[in-house]
């Protein structure tokens, strides 16, 4: 099983600031099988990024993803009030899916 | 626009079997290169993948749950289902169904459509 470790656990930032979220895999992951999701309280997760760097339909360009191998990053260039949420990375490999533990982006 | 809706009992007794159904609307469950998946989330915790199913009936399950999980699909009803046996309090969670999209030529893997989730509590 590939374990995804997200850091930091919590990120305290102000609107307008840049958020950098990390997702590290215990073994190499195919970048085409790496996705990021946003989840707000009481809601289902929403797909943000797939293929490590491709934005999903309707996702603003302030969200960007990058990385390969075992290190992946989600950047929110300028935080908007609606961006404060929990973010999860997810990988698929060997017919199994795993999620990272999540990073909470909270208002400072 | 494809939508997913989970349904099933909100309360299940310990040692019994949890049964949930996900109804797909807005498109045929058989169209496109999609798998269909279940994910759960205990209160205040992260996401855990339970498994996936294709319309052919092909399945893959989380190894940690494999001995207790059965998924099935009913294309005539545009539904897929989850059964989790021998439940305990640790199975209390919000259960989501989701569509797995592989993109063109099965190049990608991502969950692009999610149901709103249904809360299942295991308690006597």
pLDDT tens string B44-75: 999 999 999 999 999 999 999 999 999 999 99
Q: What is the pLDDT of residue B106?
A: 83
A59 part of contact set with chain B, CB < 8 Å: no
DSSP strand pairing (A103-107 vs A10-13) = parallel
**Tokens at residue A79, please?**
């935080």
Answer yes or no: are the C-beta atoms of B55 and B29 closer than 8 Å: yes
Mean pLDDT of all residues in A59-72: 97
Residue B104 has pLDDT above 90, yes or no: no
Which of chain B's residues have a Cβ under 8 Å away from the Cβ of A102? 46-47
Q: What is the pLDDT of residues B25-36, one digit of tens each?
A: 999 999 877 999
Closest-approach residue (CA) in chain B for A103: B46
Do residue A1 and residue B63 have CB atoms under 8 angstroms apart? yes
Other beta carbons within 10 angstroms of residue A53's beta carbon come to 18
**Residue A69, SS3 per DSSP:** strand
A7 part of contact set with chain B, CB < 8 Å: no
Q: What is the pLDDT of residue A19?
A: 98
Q: What is the pLDDT of residue A37?
A: 98
Q: What is the pLDDT of residues B69-96, one digit of tens each?
A: 999 999 999 999 999 999 999 999 999 9
How far apart CA A88 and CA A39 sit, in angstroms, is 8
Do residue A88 and residue B47 have CB atoms under 8 angstroms apart? yes
Confidence bin at B103 (pLDDT 50/70/90): confident
**Minimal Cα–Cα distance from A101 to chain B, Å?**
6
Q: B113: burial class by Cβ within 10 Å (0-12, 13-18, 19+)?
A: buried
How far apart CA B42 and CA B45 sit, in angstroms, is 5
How far is the CA of A45 from the CAs of A94, B26, B106, in angstroms?
A: 23, 20, 22
Find the CB nearest A44 among B37, B49, B114: B114
**Tokens at residue B85, please?**
């046996």
Do residue A35 and residue B109 have CB atoms under 8 angstroms apart? yes
**Tokens at residue B91, please?**
């199975």
Find the CB nearest B47 among A32, A33, A99: A99
A12 part of contact set with chain B, CB < 8 Å: no
How far apart CA B104 and CA A77 sit, in angstroms, is 29
Q: How many CB pairs under 8 A join A and B?
A: 63
A87 part of contact set with chain B, CB < 8 Å: no
């Amino acid at each position: 099983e590939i374990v995804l470790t997200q850091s930091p656990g919590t990120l305290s930032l102000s609107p307008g600031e840049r958020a950098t979220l990390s997702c590290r895999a215990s073994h190499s992951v195919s970048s085409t099988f790496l996705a990021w999701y946003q989840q707000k309280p009481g809601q289902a997760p929403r797909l943000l990024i797939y293929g490590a760097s491709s934005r999903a339909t309707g996702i603003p360009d302030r969200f960007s993803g990058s990385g390969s191998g075992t290190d992946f990053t989600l950047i929110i260039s300028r935080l908007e009030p609606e961006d404060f949420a929990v973010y999860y990375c997810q990988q698929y490999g060997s017919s199994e899916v795993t999620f990272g533990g999540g990073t909470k982006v909270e208002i400072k | 626009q494809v939508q997913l809706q989970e349904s099933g009992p909100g309360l299940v007794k310990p040692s019994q079997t949890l049964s949930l159904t996900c109804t797909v609307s807005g498109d045929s469950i058989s169209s496109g290169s999609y798998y269909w998946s279940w994910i759960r989330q205990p209160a205040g915790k992260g996401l855990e993948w339970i498994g996936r199913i294709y319309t052919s009936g092909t399945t893959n399950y989380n190894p940690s749950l494999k001995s207790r999980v059965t998924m099935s699909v009913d294309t005539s009803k545009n539904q897929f289902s989850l059964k989790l046996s021998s439940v305990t309090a640790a199975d209390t969670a919000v259960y989501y169904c989701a569509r797995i999209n592989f993109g063109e030529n099965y190049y990608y893997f991502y969950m692009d459509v999610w149901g709103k989730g249904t809360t299942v509590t295991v308690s006597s």
